[in-house]
Amino acid sequence: MLAYAYGDAIGSDRMTAYDFAVIRIARLYPLHILTAAFVAVMWSVSVVLFHHGLSDLSKPTATGVLETITLTQSLFTGSWSLNTPSWSVAAELWCGLIMLPLCSSSRMLRTVAVLVCVLAYLATAMNGGFIG
């Protein structure tokens, strides 16, 4: 759908990379913030009502917070970070942003995009994969 909606504009340089990135982030990041707020409320309710502390796996770490903010869940830590439901938002955001150079008329940009995808896949696979 993204290629259909934006491919021609990107390929003909009617839409800049900046414009496309702003459109994608403006569409997806509010959803991420909403799910993060929901998860935070649910954690708080669980701690208050059931007097359960957070397990070591769910305690916030600096890397986990960074992964949550940047929508790079499991890329560095191999875990789902703080906002597990937002993995789908992250996938949509990053796949959308990588589409930009793939639709470019520049062969160099397309090559770099493919290399970035391969490196991101390998980095994630070394940490157990997106679903592991």
One pLDDT digit (tens) per residue for the chain, 132 residues: 666 676 677 667 677 778 878 888 888 888 888 888 887 787 777 767 766 555 544 566 788 778 888 888 766 776 666 677 777 788 888 888 887 788 777 899 889 989 988 888 887 777 666 554
Q: By three-state DSSP, how is residue 32 classified? A: helix
Dist CA 120 CA 125 (whole Å): 8
- pLDDT value at residue 28: 85
Q: Could you tell me the pTM of the whole model?
A: 0.62
Q: Is 67 helix (H, G, I), strand (E, B) or coil?
A: helix
Which H helix or E strand runs over 56?
Answer: none
3-state secondary structure of 54: coil
Residues 85, 39: contact at Cβ < 8 Å?
yes
Domain boundaries, the chain: 2-126
| Predicted pLDDT of residue 114 | 92
